[in-house]
Structure 1
Amino acid sequence: MKLGLGWKLYGDGSAPPPGAVVKPDERLSWGRTAGLGAQHVVAMFGATFVFPIVMGLDPNLAIMMSGIGTILFLLIVKGKIPSYLGTSASFVGAVTAIRAAGGDSATVTGAILVAGAVLALSGVLIHLLGPHVILKAFPPAVTGAVVMLIGFNLAPVVATAYWPYDQWIGLLTMGFVVLATVLLRGFLGRITILLGLIFGFVMSWLFDRVFGMASVPGDEPGSVVDAFRVDLSGVAEASWIGLPSFHAPDFQTSAILVALPAVIALIAENAGHVKAVQEMTGEDLDPHMGRAIFADGVATTLASSVGGSPTTTYAENIGVMAATRIYSTAAYYVAAIVAILFGLCPKFGALIAATPSGVLGGITVVLYGMIGLLGAKIWVENRVDFANPVVLVPLAAGLIAGIGGVEVAFTDTFVINGIALGTIITLVGYHLLVWLAPEHMVPRPVGARPEGDEGAGIMVVGTGDDTALPEAAKEERAVEGADKEGPDRT
């Protein structure tokens, strides 16, 4: 079976001329390929280790499993879809809810493992039935609401878990990330979270020198102690080479129900990224979309089975390809191997774990808001009609129930709330109303024409793909997007 491991040398292996494209099955010289791999490592690095910290999981293990997951992904898609699998943000809200209910890391990874298995099965179904089933099961209105739930449900975490410990460092870090995202261009503009982390570390060190100790979280949950913001004693004690911390998952039904809604967001995210790569490479990747979703599910299942973080394809690395026009999967194998080596360095993990709470507060304010607004982005790109009560009513009810903390208790130990409840209300309510509504009120996909009209089409969730739009609409979209530099970062 061809696994996409045989790369043809592009020309003489030197840098391609401006405008030229290096295809996924091609490569430059190994020296240049290694350099490209390093770029992909930097691009995925910030979010891949920040999200495990936020979820209370081992960042070293997350980095290592991201490399293993990427290799597994590339093998499953047979090298057709160049992508890097970093830590997924879609589970952050669920993990927060699970821990708030008393769950530990084993419960968290058990819930993620089941969600990963469901994602893998979804990929198999999509491969067998065709990518159009994504839109039928999870239309843009529903997908946008679920993504918004995942992001905005995290707002209390910032307000209670990070920000109060050091509001001024949080404010400075947040301000830096916001300004850097707008002012920095090119590659630096794509790693602003990593730059914000570095900035926050430096400012925390300066505050320690100028203002002395601060109230920081203690070793016991909920405890507070006076200490310096930056404590690198754990880095000095950690060894240079060693295995990260593994643990077995534990399966709790209530936790699993909380984590399952993230599957919807991951299906939409993967589909959007496949379409973005398709537009850049000019290759028809729709037949491989099911494989990509299956591969992400398998990688998430494998990572969580040993205590690692969930994975997803990364838009940051798609942005690197858009900037370089080099789509060689060889560079991703290099990046994956580098990530695995980083994961085998406990000293590196100890440095990440020393991130001050104020820095995390400043970063998560931006990150959580961006996750939530991606839901609105899906609505806008797919022109969701909120004047239609079939759309408006179930989404309104689901969002308020999910974000507001409404609970439905079946027993003393089995309670559905937060993201899980909001998703159920949105998904069931939407499809029920579509089934009951008269024909003229049934929402139609962007570009769909009345029944019987030839050429009707659909837009894939969250991709901005114009294949289904009339020519005039395509021209309008082209003018609006003419100044964009590649795909949006997520």
Structure 2
Amino acid sequence: MKLGLGWKLYGDGSAPPPGEVVRPDERLSWGRTAGLGAQHVIAMFGATFVFPVVMGLDPNLAIMMSGVCTILFLLIVNGKIPSYLGSSASFVGAAVIISPGGSDPAALTGAILVAGVVLALSGLAIHLLGPNVIVRAFPPAVTGAVVMLIGFNLAPVVSDAYWPHDQWIAVLTMAFVILATVLLRGFLARITILLGLVFGFVLSWVFDLLFGTTPTPLGDGTVEDAFRVDLSAVAEAPWIGLPDFHAPEFHLSAILVALPAVIALIAENAGHVKAVQEMTRDDLDPYMGRAILADGVATVLASSVGGAPTTTYAENIGVMAVTRVYSTAAYYVAAVVAILFGLCPKFGALVAATPEGVIGGITVILYGMIGLLGAKIWVENRVDFGNPLVLVPIAAGLIAGIGNVSVAFTESFQISGIALGTLIILVGFHVLNTLAPESMRPVPPTRDTSASATGAAEEGREEGREGAARS
């Protein structure tokens, strides 16, 4: 199976019976494989275009590059790890600081590109030194704190940038997503963000018909009456064309803000590899570093043309758990479909027309969920906050990061927010644990765990049970 290409036909090409699975180097009939590819596209679609919109990047380009990067990922891991690379949420906090309101996308993508290089080098180091180096360098206490920092640092963005545009649309969209997440089951429960966006879009259009214009804050601080939905750009956009490319720019201050996301991405990728390993029962530890390297290379490629950063997607792991089909052939189909979607500017214009109030209602949940993933890492790994070696550096780093505290070294160079908080957590934790007596040092975990690993596996098992019940 050179480069992971060339799949064996599974049985007669039909779906596997209960208890059986289709392995990564096998495939169903091409018709069924195409159908599975379409499921993977739907699973990744919502988050893959929502995150670029929130970061002020072109969603069409993000969709297209997700397909290109997925193919690249599968080639680098030799088809051993079936995964889809969608847009990453880990850089959302950095985007708000570097390019507020999408004002400087070149500086943002430049910072993401450098972070991608660091992620790729980290993957190479993990490949050479072994996967246990992840836990030693980024123990759960540190990883959970950085992930929490990335999410909760975004709270002012919701309250200052999105929510004021239309508070009632934001409230109703938020309520819809909350109810849908609890009441819906199976696949629909996995795409509640996408459903919330559609609901808010339609609701905004209805509000325009019933109530007319609404006072809308402009970038210069003034307020103007405007309709919530403006589809003029959609009508003008062609059906077929290239997305908007741009070259990255490199600024040290922006790079320092983006680098903490690397820690979250290492944990996320490692967790997803563990989740796939748990379901396929293959030993994927030898490919852990290669997967992280592949994601880093993919992020470099995407950001080099102005696209969004990438990461492996738990949403697609859930699809595999339901279908019991781990064939990488389905991911190649999904990647090709995503590339074709990216070549439709009219679709991109429709996404860009999403009302700000809708984004406010979605992000108030989304940002909070990102932050709480950090707490999930702590709980699952039984992090001991009774130990001052854990408690003190994390407490200081969280407050410095969430409160956007700054330390100025010169008039033109300072470290603040997420970058400063991460530095305090990472350096403080390791320095204190080096200086402290052996009896005070926290006991390292005996296995590689993370929110992504446990969460993705649990979600996969749950969907698998629901899928079996439905069949």
The TM-score range, normalised by the shorter chain, is: over 0.9
Query: Which residue of structure 2 aligns with residue 430 of structure 1?
Result: 429
**CA offsets, 1:25-53, max 9 Å, x none?**
11111111111111110110001001101
Structure with more helix by fraction: 2
Query: Which residue of structure 1 aligns with residue 404 of structure 2?
Result: 405
How far is the alpha carbon of 1:103 from its aligned partner?
6.4
Query: Which residue of structure 2 aligns with residue 363 of structure 1?
Result: 362
AA aligned to 1:462 is A
Query: Which residue of structure 2 aligns with residue 199 of structure 1?
Result: 199
Query: Which residue of structure 1 aligns with residue 20 of structure 2?
Result: 20
For residues 258 and 157 of structure 2, the distance between their equivalents in structure 1, rounded to whole angstroms, comes to 17
AA aligned to 1:300 is T
How far is the alpha carbon of 1:99 from its aligned partner?
2.2
Query: Which residue of structure 2 aligns with residue 185 of structure 1?
Result: 185
Q: SS at 1:187's partner residue?
A: helix
TM-score (norm 1): 0.92
**CA offsets, 1:34-77, max 9 Å, x none?**
11111110110001001101100000000000000000000000
**CA offsets, 1:461-487, max 9 Å, x none?**
33566xxxxxxxxxxxx9x99984469
Checking the alignment, whether the CA contact within 8 Å between 1:277 and 1:318 is kept in structure 2 is yes
Find out whether 1:416 has 2:405 as its counterpart.
Answer: no
For residues 308 and 31 of structure 1, the distance between their equivalents in structure 2, rounded to whole angstroms, comes to 31
For residues 413 and 125 of structure 2, the distance between their equivalents in structure 1, rounded to whole angstroms, comes to 30
Checking the alignment, whether the CA contact within 8 Å between 2:67 and 2:85 is kept in structure 1 is yes
For residues 438 and 199 of structure 1, the distance between their equivalents in structure 2, rounded to whole angstroms, comes to 56
How far is the alpha carbon of 1:18 from its aligned partner?
2.6
Find out whether 1:252 has 2:241 as its counterpart.
Answer: no
**CA offsets, 1:96-128, max 9 Å, x none?**
111259961110000000000000000000000
Q: Which runs of 5+ in 2 are unaligned?
A: 466-471
AA aligned to 1:458 is R
For residues 425 and 352 of structure 1, the distance between their equivalents in structure 2, rounded to whole angstroms, comes to 38
Find out whether 1:462 has 2:462 as its counterpart.
Answer: no
TM-score (norm 2): 0.95
Q: SS at 2:32's partner residue?
A: helix
For residues 5 and 402 of structure 1, the distance between their equivalents in structure 2, rounded to whole angstroms, comes to 45
How far is the alpha carbon of 1:223 from its aligned partner?
5.0
Query: Which residue of structure 1 aligns with residue 109 of structure 2?
Result: 109
How far is the alpha carbon of 1:249 from its aligned partner?
0.5
AA aligned to 1:146 is V
For residues 184 and 431 of structure 1, the distance between their equivalents in structure 2, rounded to whole angstroms, comes to 43
Identity of paired residues, percent? 79
How far is the alpha carbon of 1:415 from its aligned partner?
1.1
Q: SS at 1:229's partner residue?
A: coil
Query: Which residue of structure 2 aligns with residue 324 of structure 1?
Result: 323
Checking the alignment, whether the CA contact within 8 Å between 1:382 and 1:464 is kept in structure 2 is no
Query: Which residue of structure 1 aligns with residue 469 of structure 2?
Result: none
AA aligned to 1:65 is M
**CA offsets, 1:63-92, max 9 Å, x none?**
000000000000000000000000000000
For residues 100 and 183 of structure 2, the distance between their equivalents in structure 1, rounded to whole angstroms, comes to 37
Aligned residues: 463
Query: Which residue of structure 1 aligns with residue 235 of structure 2?
Result: 236
How far is the alpha carbon of 1:310 from its aligned partner?
0.3
For residues 463 and 213 of structure 1, the distance between their equivalents in structure 2, rounded to whole angstroms, comes to 43
Q: Equivalent residues in 2 for 1:127-276 (5 A)?
A: 127-216=127-216, 218=218, 222-276=221-275
How far is the alpha carbon of 1:375 from its aligned partner?
0.2
Query: Which residue of structure 1 aligns with residue 306 of structure 2?
Result: 307
CA RMSD between the two structures: 1.9
Q: Which runs of 5+ in 1 are unaligned?
A: 447-456, 466-477
Residues 301 and 217 of structure 1, relative CA distance in 2, 3 Å threshold:
farther
Checking the alignment, whether the CA contact within 8 Å between 1:135 and 1:461 is kept in structure 2 is no
Residues 439 and 374 of structure 1, relative CA distance in 2, 3 Å threshold:
same
Q: Equivalent residues in 2 for 1:52-63 (5 A)?
A: 52-63=52-63
How far is the alpha carbon of 1:216 from its aligned partner?
3.1
For residues 283 and 462 of structure 1, the distance between their equivalents in structure 2, rounded to whole angstroms, comes to 20
Checking the alignment, whether the CA contact within 8 Å between 2:114 and 2:300 is kept in structure 1 is yes
Q: SS at 2:224's partner residue?
A: strand
